[in-house]
Amino acid sequence: MGATSGLIVAGIAGATAIGISFAAIPFVTPALRRVCIPYVPATPPQLKNVSRALAECTPKQGPLIDLGSGDGRMKFGEQLASHLTPEWRKQYIDYEALKNLLYDNMLEVPSEEDRREEHIAQMDEKFFNECENELTKINLFFSQKIAEAQGKYHELQSELQMFKEVVEQRAEPTTILRRRFGARDKLHKETIKTSQQLKLAFSEFYLSLVLVQNYQQLNGTGFRKILKKHDKLTGNERGLDWRINKVEKSSFFLNREIETLINNVETSVINELEGGNRQAGMKRLKVPPLSEKQKPITTFSLGLFMGAGLILITAIFLSWWGAVVRPNEPQWVAVRLFR
């Protein structure tokens, strides 16, 4: 009876494992592609907009709707929304508004060539005015953040210098220290941050610098993307000219002060607070990645090995349990089969 029950349990477990494996095939095989493309159904408003655009589009207008590359990569609008600093949301380039402005104006382009050029010229004037407003907003905010960062850096450097002086004073003989500073020494020490407090302050400041640098890079990419989209839709290169003459000559694009501040903070922490230990200094200043890319093969491998491990553990347990009713059979058959 015991042997029969063991065989029944083993058969049920094996059949269940096989059934789960077959049921998982449709969900696992997409992960084996070079680029995993998830299925995301379109919403009713999206379908309505596409139908309206196709109905109003004429062959002379050229390509109108950007359906994406089809490789499953995140569009810049989504990337911007996920990587921006929430407190500064309104200070970033309004990429979606500029993109919608382009698409709405292109829907109204007449089919006649003369009227088409006139319409595009009027559209460009309005579009580049909006770009100018966005550029001015970004330049002002970036300049403000750079000024704040410079002030904070000088403040931290002053505190670091005071801390170094106190450390040097403590190394002197006590009598000399008392004669030189007297009763003010206690008050002086209370105003100086400790080593750990300074390290924490530099770490927080370093993170703020990285956020400003990310702000600079995202806005630069945003202008490049939207102006490239403009040239693609209109069939001219006014967007490229505007980027070269305006964006690439703007203060936020040319300013490299943020990189200098980041390098100076790294040098101060490594040399002054960590005794020249670069590994310890960079570990303290380590900033979590602003975006983590998870590869599909990682999820697939985890599921595959977890499933195989569960089946192996079940087989070992059943083999061990069956050894009670079959003492003459080897107990590690399952281990030899799955190793």
Distance in angstroms (rounded) separating the CA atoms of residues 167 and 176: 14
What mean pLDDT is predicted for residues 291-298?
Answer: 58
Three-state SS string across 238-294, please?
A: HHHHHHHHCHHHCHHHHCCHHHHHHHHHHHHHHHHHCCCCHHHHHHHCCCCCCCCCC
Confidence of residue 191 (pLDDT cuts 50, 70, 90): very low
CB-CB contact of 258 with 150 (8 Å): no
The one-letter amino acid at 212: V
Neighbours of 250 (CB within 10 A): 17
CA 27 to centroid of chain Cα atoms: 27
> What pLDDT was estimated at residue 194?
77
Structure-token match 């477990």, residue found = 13
The mean pLDDT value for 325-329 works out to 59
CA distance 256 to 260: 7
The answer to pTM > 0.85 is no
Residue 124: how many CA atoms within 13 Å on its side-chain side? 20
User: What is the spatial distance between Cα 57 and Cα 321, in angstroms, rounded to a whole number?
Assistant: 72
What is the distance, to the nearest Å, from the Cα of residue 294 to the centroid of all Cα atoms in its chain? 11
Work out the mean pLDDT of the chain and round it to a whole number. Answer: 75
